[in-house]
Amino acid sequence: MIKNQDIEKIVLSFEPSESAELAARLGEEIAARFAPRVEQPVCVVAHDPQGALVAGLNGVSHWRWLYVRHLWVERSQRGRGWGRRLIAEAERIAIERGCVGLYVDTFDPRAAAFYEALGFTRAGEIADFPPGHARLFFRKPFQ
């Protein structure tokens, strides 16, 4: 057993290899207790007739849930149903992968209202993150 007196020092590290090692070690412990994450990325995009990116969604499925990490729609294209279509496609992909639901977080009240209109329910909140706002967490089980 390592004791505090056996540790030479604690230092701030910017080494990518150390960060990767920490992530790997924690991943091993989590997998041993809860099963491996078995992450599968998802990226769905929409282009206009000229080929310009106008909307997109990316995220990852793991442990039978699909996390929507980013959902973006070009400002001039908002209100045209892109977001709805992207979420619908994410749901289709999630179901195809055997997922039981979607989850997402935001600190934008307009985005929160959008997710709630699509059937997501609030699952949690961190007040004052970012300062003066709240980070909101939503889920949408498929049952």
| pLDDT digits 0-9 by tens, 63-119 | 999 999 999 999 999 999 999 999 999 999 999 999 999 999 999 999 999 999 999
How many CA atoms are closer than 13 Å to the CA of 66, on its beta-carbon side? 28
Pairing between strand 134-141 and 121-127?
antiparallel
pLDDT digit string, tens, across residues 37-65 = 899 999 999 999 999 999 999 999 999 99
Distance CA 76, CA 5 (A): 60
What structural domains does the chain harbor?
A: 40-141 (3.40.630.30)
pLDDT at 108: 96
Integer Cα distance of 32 and 126 in angstroms: 29
Q: Round to whole Å and give the CA distance between 61 and 99.
A: 8
Mean pLDDT throughout 131-139? Answer: 97
pLDDT tier for residue 6 given thresholds of 50, 70 and 90: confident
pLDDT tens across 10-29, in order? 889 899 999 999 999 999 99
3-state class of 20 per DSSP?
helix
* Higher pLDDT, residue 143 or 61: 61
What end-to-end distance do the CA atoms of the chain give, in Å?
A: 47
* Tokens describing residue 16: 């990518």
Q: What is the pLDDT of residue 7?
A: 73
